[in-house]
Amino acid sequence: MTDFDFVVVGSGIAGLSFALKAARHGRVAIVTKRSAAESNTAWAQGGVCCVLAEDDSFDLHVGDTLDAGAGLCNEEVVRAVVSAAPERMKELMGWGVNFDTDAATGSLSLGREGGHTRRRILHHGDTTGREIAESLLERAREVEEITFFEHHFAIDLITSGKLGYATEDRCLGLYVLDEKSGEVLTFRSDRVILATGGSGRVYQFTTNPLGATGDGVAMAWRAGATIANMEFVQFHPTCLYHSKLKNFLISEALRGEGGVLIGADGREFMHKYDERKSLAPRDIVARAIDREIKRTGSPCVYLDMTSKSREFLQERFPMIWQTCMDAGIDISRDPIPVVPAAHYQCGGVRTDINGATSLRGLYAIGEVGSTGLHGANRLASNSLLEGAVVAHNAASDILRRSPLGQSHVNGYTIPPWRAGNVTDVDELVVIYHNWDELRRLMWDYVSIVRTGKRLLRAATRLRNLQREVQEFYWNFKVTTELLELRNLVQTAALIVDSAQRRHESRGLHYTLDFPEPNPLEIKDTVLRRVL
């Protein structure tokens, strides 16, 4: 059993930012199921929003965020996050993050993406997330008070309620699988922070890395924390359509630099769906592409960047340029084949602006949390900003609520993990089959366009999958594959349950049964588990 002042699960911008601040006050454990360099943050291409231009303002950024969020954003949260951006970006640069600058003026270069009325995206070529992740990780590894537990999988949260104590339910720590030894460790802490990212892998087609399996949301749900707005899954409009490169994102920043969406016939089509054309918010563009594909029977649409010079494209988008070239696509001459793919989880564990959840001692920051910033649809490049701002707030709030030296954990007896009479998994092929079945049914029934019948079919199949996975969990030794499948099935069930409760179309949730927004439905979808 190991005691830490803070236990952070995840190593993206939110988790590392929090750890760097918390380490000034106590000992921090960072638990990651793969290497610490692998995170959703590291895959982010576009950049981070920040109001810096003379023709921009906080009010304009707030307005763009509220417009994209389709009536469900918490305006107070939006204003707080937007106004905190300049200070947080200054902090990132102080930690070694290099954003691109304008060669002529030396000032920070600002990009533009869909839904934005001004240029306000700080970027590092088209690998902004990797630049941030690597810079923060390098900094964190130098801090003596931070201990990394890589290749350690967080299984479940430990709570006083689960242990049977008749006191206020609170988080006491978590059980963690050491993937190399197979041993399950017990981490005790008054302060547990989920920074696990999203759940894109619940879908067959996604831009997310392999680790995006909804671990944080599933753990929090099993522990009794409140979950909100899981029906709002953002599908990025432009994932590269290629037989081998199935998860490669074509950044929205290309459309911000003049890229135009065209059909297989070479004609633009976005003017039929929105006056902002190719720069409309993601939910509108993704649905438009979905409709065009279904209308024409073409397997994809295309993003045309041929109006830009080879030199500009190589300099501004070096990774996308080289990846496409390796795939036989010269983007200065050839339109890029693209399709929508699951990209971002706008709902999650319900929190306040400080990342505090409904369970004492548990915080959720970054994509795993639902602060109210994104509403029914995330504005491009607000995600990394939210991670930095909420991590900063959480580092202060958690010490206010649970000061160091006033331990609650010591008042409880926490039993070690008991494996029971279990055996090694002898039929991994069944787990892989269930994984494939889950992702296919979510893509077919719960993706960009939904219906009540499709959701009902998904719910029925998910109940069967949950029973199978639960049987595996109790009868076999825990493995990474089994734990990820367990979390994916639970997260999928939360998405479907939330979608069935919203009887309207709003933002990212579009159903043919209720194709228009309903003023009576301007409210969060809140799920609470009765333990």
Active-site positions read 282
Beta strands (DSSP E) in 309-439 are 336-345, 348-350, 362-364, 369-370
Q: Which residues contact 349 (CB under 8 A, 6 or more apart)?
A: 194, 216, 217, 220, 225, 226, 227, 228, 357, 364, 368, 369, 370
- Amino acid in the structure at residue 385: L
Which residues 6+ apart lie within 8 Å of 236 measured at CB? 207, 249, 252, 282, 286, 340, 341, 342, 343, 344
Residue with tokens 């999958």: 465
Q: Phi, psi (5° rounding) for residue 301?
A: -115, -170
Instruction: Say if CB 223 and CB 157 are below 8 A apart.
Output: yes
Q: How far apart are CA 480 and CA 264, in angstroms?
A: 42
One-character DSSP codes across 51-73: --STT--HHHHHHHHHHHTTT-S
Q: Is 291 exposed, middle or buried (0-12, 13-18, 19+ CB in 10 A)?
A: middle
Q: Which amino acid is at 423?
A: T
